[in-house]
Amino acid sequence: MSENNMSRRNIHRGRPKKRKKGCLIFFIIIIVLLIGAGAVGAYFYNNVVNTVDVIQQSRPEEQVNLRDEDEPDPEVSRIQNKEPFSMLILGVEPSTNDNLEEGQSNIMVVATVNPEEESVVMTNIPSNTLTEIAGQESEGMIREAYETGGLSTTVNTVQDLLEIPIDYTLTVNLNGLADIIDAIGEVPVTATETFDQKGYSFVAGETYNMDGEMALAYIGDIDEAIESANRQDKARQVVSAIVPQISQIDSLASIPKLLGSLNGNVLTNLSFKDIQTIALDYRQIITNVETVQLEGNSETIDDVTYEVLDSNTLTNIQEQLKALLEQ
């Protein structure tokens, strides 16, 4: 971090966030969608396979390989070999025409999994975290990495920040959550605060059966960086409400619509075999995870509010993740 930036900091310091445990199931939604659909019988097997083909995204060519071995072989993946692996989960708001490869990543979670230890850690990275953007000679909010250089720049920036390799990626269109919700009906969400937004009124403690439009209104727009953490919490709350609704689907007519809602709203380099392996062999592991939040202070620099990470906390989390990945 430059001395000039340090001298410009004034500020508004918030309390460090406490580590918390829970089941952050942002990436499990995709597993449940696909395997849940396939579980209804062989009739939908081809639908599931075709859906995986549509949402496939290659590993970025510009991604820096931090592992000692050669570039990963998709035919013999770490997931299928039951080796420790990591996955970067991004919630992206496309900038134009719902092109999922362009926009800002306003939700960023790194999942690290050690099958032998049956351990999963989900690390939440505030979207306004101040960090060096990979390939740039400047610092900025980490969410800007996606806008600057897409997936490869984002992956490399996260790898630099956490000092661990990223093996897999999963990108979800936050605007597309409405399509997924409407495909399954409605989801129950309990408001955490009282506010009005986009024609809807929410009261803290009240539970609402939300359709897609109402859910997006609840999550809200990101107009100020300081609002990002609050908005991330709401988005994770909605995503968590989606999963049990999907698992309860009993109408065969809903399955094609549900699978269709993934098209244009999800991209991943998980193969069909990877998804099958996670669903069949990792089911118990991925339902019991530890969630940690990168801790820091809110600081205003040149009238922009950033999350400035505490170096000691960052180092501790880096070491924890490295141990989990046996690095």
**Measured between alpha carbons, how far is 292 from 295 in angstroms, rounded to an integer?**
9
What pLDDT was estimated at residue 287?
A: 62
**Measured between alpha carbons, how far is 29 from 123 in angstroms, rounded to an integer?**
17
**Measured between alpha carbons, how far is 300 from 302 in angstroms, rounded to an integer?**
7
| pLDDT by position in tens, the chain (length 327) | 444 443 333 333 333 343 333 333 444 445 444 554 445 455 566 777 777 788 888 888 889 988 876 666 656 789 999 999 999 988 888 877 677 888 888 888 898 999 999 888 989 898 889 999 999 888 999 999 999 899 999 999 999 999 999 999 988 888 788 888 888 788 899 999 898 988 999 999 999 999 989 998 998 764 444 455 677 678 778 877 776 666 555 555 566 777 777 777 888 888 888 877 877 787 777 666 788 888 888 888 888 888 899 999 999 999 999 999 987
272-281 vs 28-38: helix crossing angle, rounded to 10? 90
**Measured between alpha carbons, how far is 40 from 271 in angstroms, rounded to an integer?**
21
Q: Which residues share a beta bridge with 109?
A: 89, 124
- Residue 199 in tokens: 């024609």
**Measured between alpha carbons, how far is 123 from 313 in angstroms, rounded to an integer?**
12
Q: How many distinct helices (H) and strands (E) make up the chain?
A: 10, 15
> Terminal CA-to-CA distance of the chain, rounded, Å?
26
**Measured between alpha carbons, how far is 9 from 133 in angstroms, rounded to an integer?**
19
**Measured between alpha carbons, how far is 318 from 67 in angstroms, rounded to an integer?**
16
H or E, element range at 103: strand 103-114
| CB-CB contact of 72 with 271 (8 Å) | no
What pLDDT was estimated at residue 179?
A: 84
- pTM given for the model: 0.80
Residue type present at position 113 = V
